[in-house]
Amino acid sequence: MQVEAIYDNGRVEFTHPLRLRHDRLRVLVEVPDEEIADLGNPYNLPPEVLARAARMRTHLDEIRNAPLPPDDELPPVSGKILERIEAFTLREDH
């Protein structure tokens, strides 16, 4: 399930209290991109590497952020594909 939480100086707190079975567990937290501070160059990479990585990112982001066509303008997803998606879902290995 997804729940809302507030990050505050290194601590994440749920906005609505939840009773959990364990005292300690792994959760995935979605952090908005714009909140990520520039980490600089932690690996001391040459500027050519940084520039190349940035170019590749810009290109992929352009595709990623392009507007999506309305559902009814897209070809249908076949029953066979949907079955495969379900089968993959069962694997939960990602």
Partner 1 sequence: MDLVLDINVAVDICTKRQPFYRDADLATGKCLEEGGRLWLYAGSVQTLEYVTRDEFQRSFLIEGRPLTARQLQHHARRVLKAFSSDKQWLAALAEEGSVFDSPDPEDEQLILSLGRFAPGTIKLLTRDEPLRRRYPDLTITPQEYLREPMQPKGMDFVDLAAQQDRFRPGLEFNLHRVLHHGHYILGPEVRELEDRLAAYTGAKHCITVASGTEALLISLMALGIGPGDEVITTPFTFVATAEVIVLVGATPVFVDIEPDTCNIDATLIEARITAKTKAIMPVSLYGQPADMDAINAIAARHGGIPVIEDAAQSFGAEYKGQKSCNLSTLGCTSFFPSKPLGCYGDGGAIFTNDDALAQACREIRVHGQSKRYVHTRIGVGGRMDTLQCAIVLAKLDRFDQEIAQRQAVARRYHELFATEEHGSTPNRKQRSVNFRVLPWPKSDRTSVFAQYSILVQDRDALQARLRAAGIPVAVHYPVPLNEQPAYAHLCNADSTPVAQAIARQVMSLPMHPDLSQADQGLIVAALHVG
The residues that touch partner 1, with contacts defined as CB under 8 A, are: 2, 30-31, 33, 36, 39, 43, 45-46, 48-50, 52-54, 56-57, 59-61, 63-64, 66, 68-69, 71, 74-77, 81-82, 84-85, 88-89, 94
| Smallest distance, partner 1 to C-beta of residue 82, A | 7
Write the CA distances from 9 to 13, 19, 38, 55, integer angstroms. Answer: 11, 23, 17, 33
Largest interatomic CA distance in the chain: 50
Task: Give whichever of 25 and 66 is closer to partner 1, judged by the CB atom.
Answer: 66
> What span, in angstroms and rounded, lies between the C-alpha atoms of 45 and 81?
42
Residue 92 tokens, joined: 């939960």
Task: Give whichever of 17 and 67 is closer to partner 1, judged by the CB atom.
Answer: 67
Write the CA distances from 54 to 21, 22, 43, 45, integer angstroms. Answer: 43, 41, 15, 13
| Smallest distance, partner 1 to C-beta of residue 8, A | 18
Task: Give whichever of 20 and 60 is closer to partner 1, judged by the CB atom.
Answer: 60
